[in-house]
Chain A
């Protein structure tokens, strides 16, 4: 079972939900792993205080030119849809930051002057606490191609574990990489017009990917029906409500997972898992 957590909007509580869901399973002796796919700003590790047991780099192939072989025909620059190669007089200028690693240039080069060379874009680290396996991806500073790092995190997952994926915010390529091929997606939102707007975008994305989803309302306030109305109109279940309370925010800000700050949440999150399994197995 793979459950992804996404939100559309940033800062809504994805990590709060993902860490608590993973821990509620761990406390019930279930084999569980948490994949932190928010690679631009991974923060799940803050809640576990475990040293990484392994780390590896994620690299992408980018073209490198051998000027002794280059005939300056310009085919490579012509085929590149991203302007990552420019033939400027008798210099081939390569822009690794712009390259999408499609390989068109080195495959089409008639003289074999272009070869793939590795460009580091991020790292994946694995840590293990008494309860839980944590895999975290981190995009290298100054780079912006995060989907390959997200994919590398997912490839580092163990097969037989229950997997919880803490996704990036938004509903663009990195989020798609995090939620694709997951059994269920939990959408965390907040009852504000911003939360609603981005929730709707995320729901549209999941419909395209054909992934079933349910909603968790964070910072919920009695009497505020903005998310409830949207979910009712769209046939989406609201699975959990986390109230807007100072105590919850205070503990979380200290790096204490919700299920540890107040034990009533252990049952609520374990129950959340059962609701999801029920929906998935139907």
Chain B
């Protein structure tokens, strides 16, 4: 299972970026193998609707779940359509979120947790 965490830097030590569509990087952690990789979020360069562009990127990277701070309604619809599970309200370091995920301490988001934004 591949989990992507929105981050401000490129390592597990980086801070979680609370923004999905405008975060700089995603740290992708493979729960089965422990492998990790970094993808740059090119979706953040969109003039508008960066959340949708970012959802496309995560879909193309065949991510199964995403951990971030806030997910707006458009990104939520797109990610849900791809069956990508969302965990919102993340803070602190990326490594802490990975640990919490492993321990099953994160709750799956069933709705967007912020309103429309980015226009």
Please state if A86 and B48 are interface contacts (CB–CB under 8 Å).
Answer: no
**Interface residues contributed by chain B, number (CB under 8 Å):** 19
Q: Closest A residue to B46 by CB, please name it.
A: A83
Within 8 Å of chain A (Cβ to Cβ): is B81? yes
The minimal Cβ–Cβ distance linking B62 to chain A, given in whole angstroms, is 9
Please state if A86 and B83 are interface contacts (CB–CB under 8 Å).
Answer: no
Assembly CA distance A84 to B116 (angstroms): 14
The minimal Cβ–Cβ distance linking B14 to chain A, given in whole angstroms, is 26
The proximity string for B residues 27-48 relative to A, scoring 1 for CB distances below 8 Å and 0 otherwise, is 0000000000000000000111
Within 8 Å of chain B (Cβ to Cβ): is A26? no
Known: A95-B49, A98-B48, A98-B49. A86 touches B78 (CB 8 A): yes
Residues of B within 8 A of A82 (CB): 47-49
The proximity string for A residues 56-90 relative to B, scoring 1 for CB distances below 8 Å and 0 otherwise, is 00000000000000000000010000111011110
Q: Closest A residue to B59 by CB, please name it.
A: A88
Assembly CA distance A11 to B78 (angstroms): 39
Main secondary structure of the interface of B (DSSP, over half): helix
Please state if B81 and A83 are interface contacts (CB–CB under 8 Å).
Answer: no
Within 8 Å of chain B (Cβ to Cβ): is A144? yes
The proximity string for B residues 69-105 relative to A, scoring 1 for CB distances below 8 Å and 0 otherwise, is 0000010011101110000000000000000000000
Residues of B within 8 A of A118 (CB): none
Known: A88-B55, A91-B81, A95-B74. A83 touches B49 (CB 8 A): yes
**Interface residues contributed by chain A, number (CB under 8 Å):** 14
Residues of A within 8 A of B77 (CB): 93, 95
Please state if B49 and A93 are interface contacts (CB–CB under 8 Å).
Answer: no
Please state if B59 and A89 are interface contacts (CB–CB under 8 Å).
Answer: yes
The minimal Cβ–Cβ distance linking B108 to chain A, given in whole angstroms, is 18
Assembly CA distance A91 to B80 (angstroms): 10
Q: Closest A residue to B74 by CB, please name it.
A: A95
Please state if B56 and A83 are interface contacts (CB–CB under 8 Å).
Answer: yes
Please state if B56 and A77 are interface contacts (CB–CB under 8 Å).
Answer: yes
The minimal Cβ–Cβ distance linking A225 to chain B, given in whole angstroms, is 39
Please state if A84 and B119 are interface contacts (CB–CB under 8 Å).
Answer: no
Sample 30 A-B pairs with CB under 8 A, ordered by A number. A77-B56, A82-B47, A82-B49, A83-B46, A83-B49, A83-B50, A83-B53, A84-B49, A84-B52, A86-B52, A86-B55, A86-B81, A87-B56, A87-B59, A88-B59, A88-B78, A88-B79, A88-B82, A89-B82, A91-B81, A93-B77, A93-B78, A93-B81, A95-B49, A97-B74, A97-B116, A98-B48, A98-B49, A98-B52, A144-B119
Q: A82-B48, A82-B49, A88-B81 are known; give 7 further A-B pairs, CB within 8 A.
A: A83-B48, A83-B50, A84-B49, A88-B56, A89-B81, A89-B83, A95-B49
